[in-house]
Amino acid sequence: MADRPETTLYMLMSVDGKISTGASDELDFDSDLTSIEGVKEGLFQYYEIEQTTDLWSFNTGRVQAKIGVNEKPLPSKTLVSFVLWDNSHLKESGVRYFCAKSENFYLITSNKDHPAFHADEKNLHIIFQEKQDLSDALKILKERYSCKRMTIQSGGTLNSILLKEKLIDHIDIVVAPLLVGGKDTPSLVDGLSLMKKEQLHELCALKLTDCIKLKDSYIRLTYDVIS
């Protein structure tokens, strides 16, 4: 960890580990949970806790495109520096959205034709990699841009890669009182399943550091990743 930022995976999930209400892009926790009785009442707590997370936030272009940043009007600036991993989902309008929102905006890409290269923004920093390498990207963020701590809020596939590459140090999960189901519904950690016992070393053991009962049947669980 000495050569990269200390990282925390912060996510909202259902009791059965789902991070969306279904398998299509039109289904999404942020919009759907606000209309479900017994769930919407306590949702505010997730966003309140989010305001206390690190001033560096890591996400993906796919997740952000899904929630509409390519079409949204420019937001007000925040104190957060956003880092996005993206090759093809952000349009130039989405890049400008994050430049407007971010203290500094960092785009990690291996697409030499990414729309970000056409955005002339003073706070835009592009980390170009011939081959995408998460470990190297995190090292660059610390060595070149002095990122010491970062909150990760990406999708299940990237979460699985980060965990398998031992790039997550802490887990901070808000559990909503909801069962979603569906084998194709995105989960906290997706990616390829293990097929052999020889792969057991890829699993991440956790140490519980806190368990807090929130309002309206929500729970907050925090862990350290120990292996």
Q: Whole-model pTM? A: 0.94
Residue 165 belongs to domain spanning = 6-225
Secondary structure (DSSP) of 137-179: HHHHHHHTT---EEEE---HHHHHHHHHTT---EEEEEEES--
* 213 belongs to a structural domain: yes
Count of Cβ atoms closer than 10 Å to residue 173 Cβ: 18
In a domain, 203, yes or no: yes
In-domain check, residue 91: yes
Query: What's the number of domains the chain is made of?
Result: 1
Task: Give the tens place of pLDDT for each residue, 93-124.
Answer: 999 999 999 999 999 999 999 999 999 999 99
Establish if 181 belongs to a structural domain: yes
Q: Does the residue 95 lie in any domain?
A: yes
The DSSP symbol for 74 reads P
Which tokens belong to 221? Answer: 């669980």
Q: State pLDDT tens for residues 203-220.
A: 889 999 999 999 999 999
Q: What is the CATH number of the domain that holds 103?
A: 3.40.430.10
Residue 159 belongs to some domain of the structure: yes
Residue that the structure tokens 């990406």 belong to: 154
Q: What burial class does residue 190 get, using C-beta atoms within 10 Å of its C-beta: 0-12 exposed, 13-18 middle, 19+ buried? A: middle
Does 117 map to a domain?
A: yes
Q: What is the pLDDT of residues 126-172, one digit of tens each?
A: 999 999 999 999 999 999 999 999 999 999 999 999 998 999 999 99
Report if residue 214 sits inside a domain.
yes
